[in-house]
Amino acid sequence: MKPLFEDKHIIVVEKPQNLPTQRDKRGGINLYDQVKDYLEFGCGIENPYLGLIHRLDRHTGGLVVFAKTQNATRTLNDLFASRCVIKRYTARVEGYVSEDIKGLTHQILYDESVNLSKIVDASAIGTKLAILDCKLKNHYKLAEGSLCDLLVTLHTGRKHQIRAQLSHIGHPILGDEKYGAKMAQAYGMSIALWSSELIFSAFGMNYHFTSQPPNVGIWKIK
């Protein structure tokens, strides 16, 4: 594990797909422990502090920021909670998406028993507002069907939000069988969703980080 950026406040890394951000019920390797090992064994910091600020789903890769001090953790938690962080994702979806696509606003309900989010009527109990913007980046015409790359800007951070909202409008993320994808077997055992940009201001600094999906596996056009 090699960080993309590090200063006295934060450390930014690129999470591989199919790796949990933190320890989960499956156990095994996770990103948090890898970063902590880097600080301890790679940098020689005894019992290093590491603050977990936000998470990516196991199947989502890309940018993750950790705090290196308790003060930095409080500052970043406040920034993320107040939606002062710009978060953009690259999503490769099934089907042709019109260039006119812009914002999506839905009510979303997460069912923990099946680990699935659904778009529901606003009158349903327990729903939360889910808002994102979309911009078409690329369109691929393949023998088995069309694929499109979207740049997605999150305005809320609901569980499986991007996956659920894109599936609801008929464009599930490539490989995401849980949310209705049909072309998964041709492209591997992951989903084409990547945390590609984080922008925020803190500690007197303006931070801007970018990351591109690797041209392998689910991301390789065949």
Spatial CA neighbour of 17 closest among 80, 64, 66: 64
Kind of pairing, strands 5-6 and 51-52? unpaired
Rounded Cα distance, 156 and 184, in Å: 27
CA triple 18-67-26, angle to 5 deg = 30
Look up residue 43 and give its DSSP letter.
S
- Name, in order, each residue with C-beta under 8 angstroms of 18's C-beta and a sequence gap of 6 or more: 58, 59, 189, 190
Residues designated catalytic: 57
The total of other beta-carbon atoms located within 10 Å of residue 24's CB is 10
Beta strands in 112-173 (DSSP E): 116-120, 128-142, 145-154
Spatial CA neighbour of 53 closest among 84, 27, 29: 84
